[in-house]
Amino acid sequence: MKRKNLISVVSIVLFTLMTTSLVSAQWGPRPMKRHMKPRIDIERLAEELGLSEEQVTKIKAEQFAARKSQIELGAKVKIAELELRTLLDENAEESDIEAKIKEIGELKTQVQLARMQARLALRKYLTEEQLQQLEELRRERGRRPMRRGRGWREPVPEEQGFEPDFGLEPKELKKRQEI
């Protein structure tokens, strides 16, 4: 019974690793520039919120420290995943495999916590008014569809009073075009 459980766990992990490898191979390598870009465009944020030079400097330093921490944690995750593959290849004990999977889970949790802490750290450098402006910007951004990697952007035509014609009958389309 224990042997069947081990085989099941190993099969699931191998299937997951192979699937993610195939998917990432289809997408191709990600451009390096995307990884180096901060999640928050501080220059644009400074303009929109009226940040002082001192605020911008402090936020940039915080972003740098957070990004550095995220890179280090990400490297630890990759190393632990590599070690897991080695354990699976060597037919290691089930307890060793489970321990490594738990370690990977804990590292990924640390990555998520670091991201959230970096986002929350921004608050300590903003005034109450700037925090309110930031919340308004986030609400606006939340209502619009986002394109991956584009950050804040101009409203799409639907938000400027344009209604898409999806699902309308040809007669209704013609009436709208005449108006």
Model confidence over 37-70: pLDDT tens digits? 445 678 888 888 899 999 999 999 998 998 999 9
pLDDT of residue 36 exceeding 50, the answer is: no
pLDDT of residue 78 exceeding 60, the answer is: yes
The verdict on residue 50 lying in a domain is yes
Picking from 165, 47, 40, 171, the residue whose alpha carbon sits closest to that of residue 115 is 40
- What percentage of the chain carries pLDDT values higher than 90? 30
Distance CA 9, CA 34 (A): 34
The verdict on residue 128 lying in a domain is yes
pLDDT of residue 32 exceeding 50, the answer is: no
Please give, one letter per residue, the 3-state secondary structure of the chain.
CHHHHHHHHHHHHHHHHHHHHHHHHHHCCCCHHHHHCCCCCHHHHHHHHCCCHHHHHHHHHHHHHHHHHHHHHHHHHHHHHHHHHHHHHCCCCHHHHHHHHHHHHHHHHHHHHHHHHHHHHHHHHCCHHHHHHHHHHHHHHHHCCCCCCCCCCCCCHHHHCCCCCCCCCHHHHHHHHHC
The verdict on residue 93 lying in a domain is yes
pLDDT of residue 163 exceeding 50, the answer is: no
The verdict on residue 164 lying in a domain is no
Count of structural domains, the chain: 1
Over residues 28-38, the mean pLDDT reads 47
The verdict on residue 145 lying in a domain is no
The verdict on residue 63 lying in a domain is yes
Distance CA 124, CA 131 (A): 10
Q: 107: Cβ–Cβ under 8 A, 6 or more apart, which residues?
A: 73, 76, 77, 80
The verdict on residue 157 lying in a domain is no
Q: Hey, how many other C-beta atoms are within 10 angstroms of the C-beta on 92? A: 16
Over residues 4-24, the mean pLDDT reads 67
Range of the domain at 129: 35-137
The verdict on residue 178 lying in a domain is no
Residue 133, domain CATH:
1.20.120
Most confident by average pLDDT, 16-25, 29-38, 103-112: 103-112
Q: By the 8 A CB rule, do 138 and 107 touch?
A: no
pLDDT of residue 167 exceeding 90, the answer is: no
pTM reported for the whole predicted model: 0.53
